[in-house]
Structures are given as structure tokens and as C-alpha cells.
Amino acid sequence: MGLSFDLVPFTKREIPPDARVYSHLPESFRERFIRICQPYMTERRVQEIYQEFFTEFAYDIEFFDIYKDGSMSGAINSHRAFIQEGKDERVIDYIEYVLNYFAENNVIDNIITFDSRIRRAFREERVLFRLRPEQKAIELQTDEPYHLEYLGNEPMVQADNDVQVLKESPRWREAINHYNKAWDYYQDGQFNSTIPEELAKSIESVAYTICKDEHGWVDDGAGLGRCLDEMKNKGLFEPNNELYPEAERIFTGLKLSAQKAGGDKHRHEDVNQHYTLLLLHQTAAFLSYVINRYDDQYS
């Protein structure tokens, strides 16, 4: 006869999905960096980089086939293998060195176009690193060298993974879709009103699903504040009751961020990449906590 309800299988309910956000260098980014650099990498250039970088940093050279006279066999293939398989920290050092080598030696005619491709690769592959200095400084020909900075860490990655597991449940799908849409805007570099607007919708969707659709705790016209009050009264924030005022602060911050951008769909200085990641992380933490708490108590 079949089941009278929609059963979400364990494999979709509990097993984390493939990561969508990275605090390390995933294979997709490594391959993309190789492709971006490929037109400018010659055997001679790789050998020069090797002599300067690997000798100075005294790294292992298992990926490079060096003869006794210092010459190198298959330099480009070695360069590619190192980026593909090398340890994260060493590959990051190498990427920084390659970028500065290109810039200092005028290897590329249009460094800004190349620079944009590298930044876009980090963003579109959702790798939580930022390339410094900012592109405006590169355009002004600053003396500051290229270097990478962390934008996020493992807890941010874990929070996103926790949210992705929840989307398999039909009742939360709308909320998670709004959250994922915000990440899509991040990936596209739309640091403006669109991201906080989608995140605010995700929080509203969870609250309205619980308070209106599931239980009728509030009238249809009730706003988010009334829903949060009811969720608190029903114990959904216990034992972490400080999350109740935090939820209000998160939602207020999202609405203010969207208002500051004034509905402008273009980039806005008040909603930059760093701040956007903070909003995404806060929202993910709230969604996963409240939804799991609700499912534990009422499912």
C-alpha cells in the first residue's frame, strides 16, 4: 500500500552532502588556476620560479624532476602536478609567488584582466580566501605584493553543510532555497541588497512555517517578531535562550543591510564580501539550530 507520509531516507537526512563552501583549496579551484595560468607558463618560466621559490623556501621537490646540473625535465607537467597534489599551505605559497612573479616581471599585458580571473575563480568556486591587495590598488600600481587571506574557517563550512542536509525535508525546502540563492548571488559577486534580502526571507520562511503553517500559533498577519516570541514561549530556543535576542539582531541586521543598499542591485560599499560572509554564516547557524531543535521537539 505504501506509506501515508513522505519518508526522507537516512542517506539524505543524515549524511552530509558534498561540500559547497571550502576553507581549503578544492580540486576544482586548483584545476581552474592551472588553466588561467597556462597561456603564460613556459618551461623556462617554470624553471625560473622553481629556482627562486623552491630553493628559497626549501620545500620538498617530489613533484619536480631535477637533474644534477640543475636542469629540469617536464617543468610544466611538474608545475601542474604540484598544484594538483601539493599540500594546501605550500600550494598557497606557490600561488602567491606565481602571481607576484607575473606582476613584477610584466609577464601579462593586461594584469587587471588576469587579476579579475583569479578573484572570480576564488569566488565562483566558493573558496574562503581573498586576494589582496584589492584590485583598485593594483590599478594604481601599488607596491604591496599579492597575498592571500582567509575569509572564513571550518565552522563556516560546517554550518553550510548542516543547512544543506535540511533541504531534503519538504517543509524546509523554501527556506533553504532562499539561503542557497543568497550563496548564488555571492558566487556571482553581487554584494548588494540581494543577499541580505534572500537571507531575511529564509529566516521568515522558517518562522512562518513553524508558527503559521504547522501549528497556527499566530494569525496570518503576524510579523516575524510575533513568531519569534511564540517560538521562545514554546521552548524552541532552550537551552540556548540567548539565541532569541540574537535572532532578532540577525534579522534586523539583514533588513538594515538591504535598506542601506536602497534596493540597489549593484555593488554597495556597506554590503562587502567580508560582511556578506558574516551574514551567511549567522543565518546558517540560526537555521540549523532552530530547525533541528524543532524537529527534535515536534517531529
288 and 199 within one domain:
yes
Do the strands 65-66 and 72-73 form a parallel or antiparallel pair, or are they unpaired? antiparallel
Q: Is 1 within the bounds of a domain?
A: no
Dump pLDDT digits (tens) for 228-278. 889 888 888 877 666 667 777 777 777 776 665 544 444 445 568 888 888
Which residue among 150, 169, 201 closes a domain? 150
Burial of 249 (0-12, 13-18, 19+ CB in 10 A): exposed
Q: Is 4 within the bounds of a domain?
A: no
Rounded to two decimals, the pTM is 0.74
Q: Tell me what pLDDT residue 60 has.
A: 60
First to last CA, the chain: 23
Which residue among 150, 170, 191 closes a domain? 150
162 and 14 within one domain:
yes
273 and 190 within one domain:
yes
Q: Is the dihedral of CA 207, 212, 218, 223 positive or negative?
A: positive
Parent domain of 35: 27-150
Q: Is 2 within the bounds of a domain?
A: no
Dump pLDDT digits (tens) for 11-36. 445 445 556 788 899 999 999 999 99
- Grid coordinates given for 171: 517543509
